[in-house]
Each structure stands twice: as structure tokens, then as C-alpha cells.
A = this chain, B = another copy of it.
Amino acid sequence: MGKLDFSPIADTTRRAEIVALLRRAILTGQLEPGQKLNELRIAEQMRVSRAPLREAMRELVQEGILTSIPYAGTFVIDVTAKDIDDAYSLNKVLDEFAIELTWKLRDQRFFDDLDRRHEAVKQATRDLDTTRQIETALQLHGLIYEWADNSVLLETWQRLTSRLQMYFALHQRARNEPVPSEDVHETYVRLLKGNDMRAAQRHAREHIDLDFEELLAYARSLEKRSSKGA
């Protein structure tokens, strides 16, 4: 059902633009899990040859949101409940670590940025813009990784985030009941501003406010169905 229209590419290298376009299409759920990406069709829509498109797809395969089978095709990854569970549990461990690293580096700029990102989530919530809501929530949570001053950790988190964003978008899309939310991030932000690191870590480990539990339940409900064709 992939009648998504791409607009022609503009500046910088085509490859980079293509990566951005495809990533966005996948993470917002415009390209559905399991869907095959037809190189010729996409290349024509973007007014681009297959070479940069294929290179872009190779990047996204390594990024973990596409999967490739030689001579068969490249597909959006399938989302299983196990995948989500795996990502969830690793995320908790990483959060705890990131908080530990960030803790003594916090300063006024950190708190300001924290508030700013928190506000962005609340704004998206008021706007009922669910896609942006997911995006901003993940950015809020990403702050501790950006401040942790550990490039490998940050990279790891960003890879995880891609998938998380895709999962959540999928979930939101399913129940077009759009708004989950009053302010679920309140506690998280307050603890990050406070003086009790252990409490913040505990909150991250036990109570994470991203609605994983519900997401998991949704994924399990999908598990029963057969895979869809083209």
C-alpha cells in the first residue's frame, strides 16, 4: 500500500537528503513494518538515480530500521514484542548509566535545556501533534545522553531511539485516540533537578514514563496476526 509521494531532492549530497527522508518516513510510520522498499519506484519519486538511494538504504540497514535480503529486497524491520521488550530493558540500564555520568556535570545550562525540552513536549501535547509529541519526549530523554560526555553511549542511545520512535509512532497510529497525556514527565524532570541521584536512577529503572507497558501490550496483540503481503 505504499503510495507515499516523495518530493524531489534539494541541497547537499543527495544521499544525505535521501537518508533523512527515508528515516522520517519510517519513524513516523508512513512506511509500515515489513513493507518492501522498491528501489526503482522510490528513486523515480525522488527524481534520483538508484546509486545514492541504495547507499542511503545501506546506512539505514546498519542503523537497524531496515533489513536487507540479497536479491530479494530491503524491508522495514518487523516489530515484535520481544524486540520492544529488549529495547526497553536495555534502555533502562543505559538511562541509569547516563544519569550517573551526567550527574556531576549538571549546571544551569543543563537545567535550562531540560525545561526547554520539557516545555516542547507540553506544547506538542497541547497541539495534539502526536508525532511531534513522541519526537520531543525522546529528545527530552536524550538530554542526559548528550550531557554524559560519552560518545559511544550517545551513539548507542541514538540507535535505540530510532527504533523506539518507530515503535511509539506505530502504537500511536494504531489507536488514533491521540492524547495519552497530562504531564507524565513531571517527576522525571523534578528528579533530574534534585539532589538525589539514586532516586533519579530508581525512577529511570522502575518507573520510566514513556509508556512502554502499554506499547508492549499493543505489540503482543499484534503478534497473533500473519505477516502481510505487498
Q: A55-B58, A93-B93 are in contact. List 14 more A-B contacts (CB 8 A).
A: A12-B70, A13-B70, A58-B59, A59-B59, A62-B62, A62-B63, A83-B151, A86-B150, A86-B151, A86-B153, A90-B150, A90-B153, A152-B163, A156-B156
Q: Could you say which residues of chain B place their CB within 8 Å of the CB of A160?
A: 152
Q: Could you say which residues of chain B place their CB within 8 Å of the CB of A71?
A: 13
Chain A contacts to B: CB under 8 angstroms: 11-13, 16, 51, 54-55, 58-59, 61-64, 70-71, 82-83, 86-87, 89-90, 93-94, 97, 150-153, 155-156, 159-160, 163
Cα–Cα distance between A51 and B163 once the two chains are bound (Å): 28
Cα–Cα distance between A13 and B152 once the two chains are bound (Å): 30
Cα–Cα distance between A94 and B156 once the two chains are bound (Å): 11
CB distance from A22 to the nearest CB of B (A): 13
Q: Are A90 and B83 in contact (CB under 8 A)?
A: no
Q: Are B97 and A93 in contact (CB under 8 A)?
A: yes
Q: How many copies does the complex hold?
A: 2
CB distance from A101 to the nearest CB of B (A): 8
CB distance from A66 to the nearest CB of B (A): 11
A and B contact pairs by CB, cutoff 8 A, 22 listed: A12-B70, A13-B71, A16-B70, A51-B51, A54-B55, A55-B55, A55-B58, A58-B58, A59-B59, A59-B62, A62-B62, A64-B155, A82-B151, A86-B152, A86-B153, A89-B150, A90-B152, A90-B156, A93-B93, A93-B94, A93-B97, A156-B159
